[in-house]
Structure 1
Protein backbone atom coordinates (compact mmCIF):
# COMPACT_ATOMS: atom_id res chain seq x y z
CA UNK A 1 0.00 0.00 0.00
CA UNK A 2 1.47 3.34 -1.06
CA UNK A 3 0.21 6.20 1.07
CA UNK A 4 2.06 9.11 -0.57
CA UNK A 5 1.56 10.84 2.77
CA UNK A 6 3.14 10.72 6.21
CA UNK A 7 1.31 8.26 8.46
CA UNK A 8 1.55 8.86 12.20
CA UNK A 9 0.45 6.22 14.69
CA UNK A 10 -0.93 8.01 17.72
CA UNK A 11 -0.44 5.26 20.29
CA UNK A 12 2.00 4.27 23.03
CA UNK A 13 1.07 0.60 22.58
CA UNK A 14 3.97 -1.58 21.41
CA UNK A 15 1.38 -4.11 20.22
CA UNK A 16 -0.31 -1.59 17.91
CA UNK A 17 3.08 -0.57 16.53
CA UNK A 18 4.00 -4.22 15.87
CA UNK A 19 0.62 -4.90 14.26
CA UNK A 20 0.78 -1.84 11.99
CA UNK A 21 4.27 -2.91 10.88
CA UNK A 22 2.62 -6.06 9.46
CA UNK A 23 0.93 -3.88 6.82
CA UNK A 24 4.39 -2.97 5.49
CA UNK A 25 3.67 0.73 5.23
CA UNK A 26 6.02 3.39 6.56
CA UNK A 27 4.87 5.28 9.64
CA UNK A 28 6.17 7.09 12.69
CA UNK A 29 4.86 7.03 16.24
CA UNK A 30 3.76 10.22 17.97
CA UNK A 31 1.27 9.72 20.77
CA UNK A 32 -0.23 12.62 22.66
CA UNK A 33 -1.48 12.07 26.20
CA UNK A 34 -5.22 12.61 26.62
CA UNK A 35 -7.72 12.21 29.42
CA UNK A 36 -9.05 8.71 28.74
CA UNK A 37 -12.26 9.19 30.71
CA UNK A 38 -15.31 8.15 28.71
CA UNK A 39 -18.25 10.49 29.44
CA UNK A 40 -21.35 8.89 30.94
CA UNK A 41 -23.45 9.86 27.91
CA UNK A 42 -21.20 7.81 25.58
CA UNK A 43 -22.42 4.20 25.38
CA UNK A 44 -19.72 1.67 26.23
CA UNK A 45 -19.90 0.16 22.72
CA UNK A 46 -18.80 3.57 21.36
CA UNK A 47 -16.29 4.33 24.11
CA UNK A 48 -13.17 3.06 22.36
CA UNK A 49 -14.06 4.93 19.17
CA UNK A 50 -14.71 8.09 21.20
CA UNK A 51 -11.19 7.82 22.66
CA UNK A 52 -9.60 7.04 19.28
CA UNK A 53 -11.15 10.17 17.75
CA UNK A 54 -10.03 12.22 20.76
CA UNK A 55 -6.46 10.89 20.40
CA UNK A 56 -6.38 11.71 16.68
CA UNK A 57 -7.78 15.22 17.11
CA UNK A 58 -5.29 15.95 19.91
CA UNK A 59 -2.72 16.43 17.13
CA UNK A 60 -4.46 19.66 16.18
CA UNK A 61 -4.36 21.21 12.74
CA UNK A 62 -2.52 19.02 10.25
CA UNK A 63 -0.87 19.77 6.94
CA UNK A 64 -2.24 18.14 3.78
CA UNK A 65 0.50 15.50 3.74
CA UNK A 66 -0.19 13.93 7.15
CA UNK A 67 -2.57 11.18 8.23
CA UNK A 68 -3.10 10.25 11.87
CA UNK A 69 -4.09 6.71 12.84
CA UNK A 70 -5.32 6.41 16.41
CA UNK A 71 -6.89 3.50 18.25
CA UNK A 72 -8.12 2.56 21.68
CA UNK A 73 -9.30 -0.73 23.15
CA UNK A 74 -11.68 -1.44 26.01
CA UNK A 75 -13.00 -4.62 27.57
CA UNK A 76 -16.67 -4.80 28.59
CA UNK A 77 -18.50 -7.33 30.71
CA UNK A 78 -22.02 -6.89 32.06
CA UNK A 79 -22.10 -3.23 30.91
CA UNK A 80 -18.95 -2.43 32.92
CA UNK A 81 -15.86 -1.08 31.14
CA UNK A 82 -12.56 -2.60 32.20
CA UNK A 83 -9.71 -0.36 31.14
CA UNK A 84 -6.07 -0.61 32.14
CA UNK A 85 -5.55 -1.75 35.73
CA UNK A 86 -4.32 0.75 38.29
CA UNK A 87 -2.56 -1.85 40.47
CA UNK A 88 -1.84 -5.56 40.94
CA UNK A 89 -4.95 -5.87 43.11
CA UNK A 90 -7.10 -4.13 40.48
CA UNK A 91 -5.80 -6.50 37.78
CA UNK A 92 -6.52 -9.57 39.92
CA UNK A 93 -10.04 -8.29 40.65
CA UNK A 94 -10.67 -7.67 36.95
CA UNK A 95 -9.41 -11.09 35.89
CA UNK A 96 -11.45 -12.91 38.51
CA UNK A 97 -14.50 -10.86 37.45
CA UNK A 98 -13.97 -12.11 33.88
CA UNK A 99 -13.28 -15.67 35.06
CA UNK A 100 -15.42 -18.36 33.41
CA UNK A 101 -17.33 -15.70 31.46
CA UNK A 102 -17.59 -14.30 27.95
CA UNK A 103 -16.74 -10.62 27.53
CA UNK A 104 -16.48 -8.16 24.65
CA UNK A 105 -13.39 -6.39 23.37
CA UNK A 106 -14.02 -3.15 21.48
CA UNK A 107 -11.32 -1.36 19.52
CA UNK A 108 -12.10 2.05 18.09
CA UNK A 109 -9.99 3.28 15.19
CA UNK A 110 -9.80 6.80 13.77
CA UNK A 111 -8.04 7.86 10.57
CA UNK A 112 -7.74 11.63 10.48
CA UNK A 113 -6.28 14.23 8.11
CA UNK A 114 -6.69 17.92 7.38
CA UNK A 115 -9.49 17.11 4.92
CA UNK A 116 -11.51 14.38 6.64
CA UNK A 117 -11.81 11.68 9.22
CA UNK A 118 -13.26 8.21 9.36
CA UNK A 119 -13.73 6.11 12.44
CA UNK A 120 -15.15 2.72 13.28
CA UNK A 121 -15.43 0.18 16.07
CA UNK A 122 -14.63 -3.51 15.86
CA UNK A 123 -16.01 -5.95 18.43
CA UNK A 124 -14.69 -9.39 19.34
CA UNK A 125 -15.70 -11.78 22.10
CA UNK A 126 -13.44 -13.73 24.44
CA UNK A 127 -14.47 -16.59 26.73
CA UNK A 128 -12.21 -17.27 29.70
CA UNK A 129 -11.96 -20.54 31.59
CA UNK A 130 -12.08 -20.23 35.39
CA UNK A 131 -9.24 -18.06 36.77
CA UNK A 132 -8.32 -18.26 40.45
CA UNK A 133 -6.88 -15.39 42.48
CA UNK A 134 -3.57 -17.28 42.56
CA UNK A 135 -3.52 -17.70 38.77
CA UNK A 136 -4.38 -14.03 38.25
CA UNK A 137 -1.59 -13.00 40.62
CA UNK A 138 0.87 -15.36 38.93
CA UNK A 139 -0.04 -13.89 35.55
CA UNK A 140 0.36 -10.33 36.81
CA UNK A 141 3.80 -11.11 38.22
CA UNK A 142 4.79 -12.94 35.03
CA UNK A 143 3.61 -10.52 32.32
CA UNK A 144 2.71 -7.26 34.16
CA UNK A 145 -0.43 -6.31 32.17
CA UNK A 146 -0.60 -2.82 33.70
CA UNK A 147 -0.84 -1.25 30.21
CA UNK A 148 -3.54 -3.61 28.88
CA UNK A 149 -7.29 -3.10 28.74
CA UNK A 150 -9.07 -5.73 30.77
CA UNK A 151 -5.84 -6.49 32.65
CA UNK A 152 -4.67 -9.07 30.12
CA UNK A 153 -2.98 -9.65 26.80
CA UNK A 154 -4.33 -12.51 24.74
CA UNK A 155 -0.77 -13.08 23.48
CA UNK A 156 0.44 -13.63 27.06
CA UNK A 157 0.48 -16.72 29.29
CA UNK A 158 -3.12 -16.18 30.35
CA UNK A 159 -4.27 -16.07 26.74
CA UNK A 160 -2.64 -19.40 26.00
CA UNK A 161 -3.91 -21.26 29.06
CA UNK A 162 -7.18 -19.55 30.00
CA UNK A 163 -8.91 -18.44 26.78
CA UNK A 164 -11.43 -21.09 25.77
CA UNK A 165 -12.44 -19.39 22.52
CA UNK A 166 -12.72 -16.11 20.67
CA UNK A 167 -15.29 -14.84 18.20
CA UNK A 168 -14.18 -12.16 15.75
CA UNK A 169 -10.87 -10.54 14.92
CA UNK A 170 -7.85 -11.81 16.86
CA UNK A 171 -5.87 -8.67 16.00
CA UNK A 172 -8.74 -6.60 17.39
CA UNK A 173 -8.17 -8.26 20.76
CA UNK A 174 -4.47 -7.42 20.44
CA UNK A 175 -5.39 -3.75 19.95
CA UNK A 176 -5.73 -3.04 16.22
CA UNK A 177 -8.09 -4.90 13.86
CA UNK A 178 -5.68 -5.17 10.94
CA UNK A 179 -7.98 -6.32 8.13
CA UNK A 180 -10.52 -3.62 8.93
CA UNK A 181 -7.81 -0.97 9.40
CA UNK A 182 -6.21 -1.80 6.04
CA UNK A 183 -9.60 -1.55 4.30
CA UNK A 184 -10.32 1.75 6.04
CA UNK A 185 -6.93 3.16 4.99
CA UNK A 186 -7.52 2.06 1.38
CA UNK A 187 -10.96 3.68 1.40
CA UNK A 188 -9.56 6.82 3.02
CA UNK A 189 -6.85 7.10 0.35
CA UNK A 190 -9.19 6.23 -2.53
CA UNK A 191 -11.39 9.16 -1.60
CA UNK A 192 -8.37 11.45 -2.07
CA UNK A 193 -8.02 10.51 -5.75
Structure 2
Protein backbone atom coordinates (compact mmCIF):
# COMPACT_ATOMS: atom_id res chain seq x y z
CA UNK A 1 0.00 0.00 0.00
CA UNK A 2 1.45 3.38 -0.94
CA UNK A 3 1.83 6.13 1.61
CA UNK A 4 -1.13 8.37 0.74
CA UNK A 5 -3.45 5.35 1.23
CA UNK A 6 -1.79 4.49 4.55
CA UNK A 7 -2.31 8.08 5.69
CA UNK A 8 -6.06 8.11 4.94
CA UNK A 9 -6.94 8.25 8.65
CA UNK A 10 -4.33 10.86 9.51
CA UNK A 11 -4.38 14.62 9.18
CA UNK A 12 -1.08 15.97 7.84
CA UNK A 13 -0.42 19.55 8.94
CA UNK A 14 2.37 21.45 7.20
CA UNK A 15 3.42 24.48 9.24
CA UNK A 16 5.30 26.21 6.45
CA UNK A 17 4.61 29.21 4.27
CA UNK A 18 7.25 28.07 1.75
CA UNK A 19 5.65 27.51 -1.66
CA UNK A 20 8.47 25.08 -2.49
CA UNK A 21 7.77 22.86 0.53
CA UNK A 22 4.04 22.97 -0.16
CA UNK A 23 4.66 21.90 -3.77
CA UNK A 24 6.75 18.92 -2.63
CA UNK A 25 3.82 17.63 -0.55
CA UNK A 26 1.49 18.06 -3.53
CA UNK A 27 4.00 16.22 -5.75
CA UNK A 28 4.05 13.33 -3.25
CA UNK A 29 0.28 13.05 -3.63
CA UNK A 30 -0.32 13.71 0.07
CA UNK A 31 -3.39 15.48 1.40
CA UNK A 32 -2.37 18.16 3.88
CA UNK A 33 -3.48 21.40 5.42
CA UNK A 34 -1.35 24.48 6.10
CA UNK A 35 -1.26 26.05 9.55
CA UNK A 36 0.98 29.04 10.11
CA UNK A 37 1.99 30.58 13.42
CA UNK A 38 4.65 33.24 13.82
CA UNK A 39 7.82 32.12 15.59
CA UNK A 40 10.83 34.27 16.47
CA UNK A 41 13.59 32.23 14.82
CA UNK A 42 16.34 32.85 17.37
CA UNK A 43 18.66 30.08 18.50
CA UNK A 44 21.40 29.78 21.16
CA UNK A 45 24.76 30.85 19.73
CA UNK A 46 26.47 27.70 21.06
CA UNK A 47 24.60 25.52 18.54
CA UNK A 48 26.58 24.09 15.61
CA UNK A 49 25.54 23.07 12.09
CA UNK A 50 22.50 20.74 12.13
CA UNK A 51 21.88 21.54 15.81
CA UNK A 52 20.68 24.98 14.61
CA UNK A 53 18.19 23.70 12.05
CA UNK A 54 17.03 20.92 14.43
CA UNK A 55 16.39 23.51 17.14
CA UNK A 56 14.49 25.85 14.79
CA UNK A 57 12.35 23.04 13.30
CA UNK A 58 11.39 21.98 16.84
CA UNK A 59 10.79 25.59 17.88
CA UNK A 60 8.30 26.01 15.01
CA UNK A 61 6.30 23.04 16.35
CA UNK A 62 5.86 24.52 19.85
CA UNK A 63 2.89 26.86 19.20
CA UNK A 64 0.90 24.00 17.61
CA UNK A 65 1.44 21.26 20.21
CA UNK A 66 -1.53 21.97 22.48
CA UNK A 67 -4.03 21.80 19.63
CA UNK A 68 -2.89 18.47 18.10
CA UNK A 69 -5.48 15.69 17.94
CA UNK A 70 -4.64 11.98 18.09
CA UNK A 71 -4.60 11.54 14.31
CA UNK A 72 -2.64 14.75 13.52
CA UNK A 73 0.92 14.69 12.20
CA UNK A 74 2.49 18.15 12.32
CA UNK A 75 5.50 18.79 10.07
CA UNK A 76 7.82 21.74 10.66
CA UNK A 77 11.10 22.40 8.91
CA UNK A 78 14.09 24.71 8.75
CA UNK A 79 16.96 25.06 6.28
CA UNK A 80 20.29 26.79 6.82
CA UNK A 81 23.37 27.28 4.70
CA UNK A 82 26.56 26.44 6.61
CA UNK A 83 29.63 28.23 5.30
CA UNK A 84 32.94 29.28 6.87
CA UNK A 85 31.83 27.86 10.22
CA UNK A 86 28.68 29.98 10.40
CA UNK A 87 25.02 29.74 9.49
CA UNK A 88 23.84 31.93 6.64
CA UNK A 89 20.16 32.78 7.00
CA UNK A 90 17.95 34.84 4.71
CA UNK A 91 19.54 38.12 3.58
CA UNK A 92 17.99 41.33 4.90
CA UNK A 93 18.70 43.40 1.79
CA UNK A 94 20.51 43.56 -1.55
CA UNK A 95 23.89 44.34 -0.01
CA UNK A 96 23.73 41.36 2.33
CA UNK A 97 22.58 39.04 -0.48
CA UNK A 98 25.51 40.14 -2.66
CA UNK A 99 27.95 39.68 0.24
CA UNK A 100 26.64 36.16 0.93
CA UNK A 101 27.00 35.10 -2.70
CA UNK A 102 30.50 36.59 -2.95
CA UNK A 103 31.55 34.64 0.14
CA UNK A 104 30.28 31.37 -1.39
CA UNK A 105 31.76 32.02 -4.86
CA UNK A 106 34.30 29.37 -5.88
CA UNK A 107 33.76 27.42 -2.66
CA UNK A 108 31.77 24.58 -1.15
CA UNK A 109 29.02 25.14 1.40
CA UNK A 110 26.54 22.81 3.09
CA UNK A 111 22.78 23.10 2.93
CA UNK A 112 21.27 21.59 6.07
CA UNK A 113 17.55 20.92 6.41
CA UNK A 114 15.88 19.60 9.53
CA UNK A 115 12.32 18.30 9.64
CA UNK A 116 10.39 17.79 12.86
CA UNK A 117 7.42 15.40 12.98
CA UNK A 118 5.14 16.00 15.95
CA UNK A 119 2.08 14.04 17.03
CA UNK A 120 0.06 14.12 20.25
CA UNK A 121 2.35 11.35 21.56
CA UNK A 122 5.82 11.83 20.07
CA UNK A 123 8.29 14.14 18.38
CA UNK A 124 10.93 13.00 15.89
CA UNK A 125 13.50 15.21 14.14
CA UNK A 126 15.59 14.25 11.12
CA UNK A 127 18.17 16.21 9.16
CA UNK A 128 20.02 15.98 5.86
CA UNK A 129 23.19 17.70 4.63
CA UNK A 130 23.94 18.43 0.96
CA UNK A 131 27.31 19.78 -0.19
CA UNK A 132 27.04 22.45 -2.91
CA UNK A 133 29.98 23.65 -5.01
CA UNK A 134 29.79 27.07 -6.66
CA UNK A 135 32.00 28.12 -9.56
CA UNK A 136 33.78 31.48 -9.35
CA UNK A 137 30.88 33.91 -9.79
CA UNK A 138 31.57 37.28 -11.39
CA UNK A 139 30.34 40.48 -9.76
CA UNK A 140 28.14 40.99 -12.82
CA UNK A 141 26.51 37.55 -12.43
CA UNK A 142 25.86 38.11 -8.72
CA UNK A 143 24.40 41.57 -9.27
CA UNK A 144 22.18 40.35 -12.14
CA UNK A 145 20.83 37.49 -10.04
CA UNK A 146 20.11 39.50 -6.91
CA UNK A 147 18.55 42.39 -8.89
CA UNK A 148 16.26 40.15 -10.95
CA UNK A 149 15.45 37.29 -8.57
CA UNK A 150 15.46 39.09 -5.19
CA UNK A 151 16.41 36.00 -3.13
CA UNK A 152 15.52 37.53 0.24
CA UNK A 153 13.36 34.58 1.29
CA UNK A 154 16.14 32.03 0.74
CA UNK A 155 18.85 30.90 3.14
CA UNK A 156 22.26 31.71 1.70
CA UNK A 157 20.69 34.19 -0.75
CA UNK A 158 20.05 31.81 -3.63
CA UNK A 159 17.66 29.22 -5.03
CA UNK A 160 19.33 26.27 -6.75
CA UNK A 161 16.28 25.94 -9.05
CA UNK A 162 16.76 29.53 -10.30
CA UNK A 163 19.15 31.11 -12.82
CA UNK A 164 22.12 31.19 -10.42
CA UNK A 165 21.81 27.44 -9.87
CA UNK A 166 21.81 26.73 -13.59
CA UNK A 167 24.89 28.81 -14.36
CA UNK A 168 26.77 28.77 -11.08
CA UNK A 169 26.63 25.38 -9.37
CA UNK A 170 29.27 22.93 -10.57
CA UNK A 171 28.12 19.91 -8.55
CA UNK A 172 26.29 18.78 -5.46
CA UNK A 173 26.76 15.81 -3.13
CA UNK A 174 23.51 14.70 -1.52
CA UNK A 175 19.86 15.49 -2.15
CA UNK A 176 18.99 18.16 -4.74
CA UNK A 177 15.51 18.53 -3.22
CA UNK A 178 17.11 19.27 0.14
CA UNK A 179 18.76 22.35 -1.40
CA UNK A 180 15.40 23.47 -2.80
CA UNK A 181 14.04 23.25 0.74
CA UNK A 182 13.04 19.75 1.84
CA UNK A 183 14.79 16.34 1.96
CA UNK A 184 11.81 14.70 0.29
CA UNK A 185 13.04 11.08 0.34
CA UNK A 186 13.79 11.24 4.06
CA UNK A 187 10.43 12.90 4.79
CA UNK A 188 8.56 10.18 2.89
CA UNK A 189 10.48 7.38 4.65
CA UNK A 190 9.95 8.96 8.08
CA UNK A 191 6.20 9.30 7.51
CA UNK A 192 6.12 5.61 6.54
CA UNK A 193 7.95 4.65 9.74
CA UNK A 194 5.61 6.75 11.93
CA UNK A 195 2.52 4.84 10.86
CA UNK A 196 3.93 1.33 10.41
Fold-level match, TM-score > 0.5? yes
**Displacement of 1:101:** 0.1
**Displacement of 1:54:** 0.9
Which consecutive residues of structure 2, in runs of 5 or more, have no partner in the other structure?
Answer: none
Aligned position for 2:140: 134
Aligned position for 1:68: 74
- Structure 2 length-normalised TM: 0.94
Q: 1:92 aligns with which of 74, 90, 98?
A: 98
- Alpha-carbon displacement from aligned partner over 1:24-73 (angstroms, at most 9, x marks no partner): 11001112111112211222221111111111222131111211011110
Counterpart check, 1:22 vs 2:27? yes
- Alpha-carbon displacement from aligned partner over 1:70-89 (angstroms, at most 9, x marks no partner): 11100011111101010011
8 Å Cα contact 1:46/1:121 also seen in 2: no
Aligned position for 2:58: 53
Matched residues in 2 for 1:93 and 1:100: separation? 14
Counterpart check, 1:171 vs 2:177? yes
Runs of 4+ in 1 over 3 A off after TM superposition: none
Counterpart check, 1:11 vs 2:22? no
Matched residues in 1 for 2:21 and 2:169: separation? 21
Say what the alpha-carbon RMSD is for the aligned residues: 1.0
**Displacement of 1:133:** 2.6
Q: 1:102 aligns with which of 102, 108, 133?
A: 108
Matched residues in 1 for 2:53 and 2:96: separation? 20
Q: 1:31 aligns with which of 8, 33, 36?
A: 36
Matched residues in 1 for 2:21 and 2:131: separation? 19
8 Å Cα contact 2:108/2:131 also seen in 1: yes
**Displacement of 1:9:** 0.6
- Structure 1 length-normalised TM: 0.95
Matched residues in 1 for 2:139 and 2:35: separation? 37
Aligned position for 1:159: 165
8 Å Cα contact 1:104/1:124 also seen in 2: yes
Matched residues in 2 for 1:166 and 1:70: separation? 25
8 Å Cα contact 1:57/1:112 also seen in 2: no
Matched residues in 1 for 2:164 and 2:112: separation? 19
Matched residues in 2 for 1:188 and 1:31: separation? 23
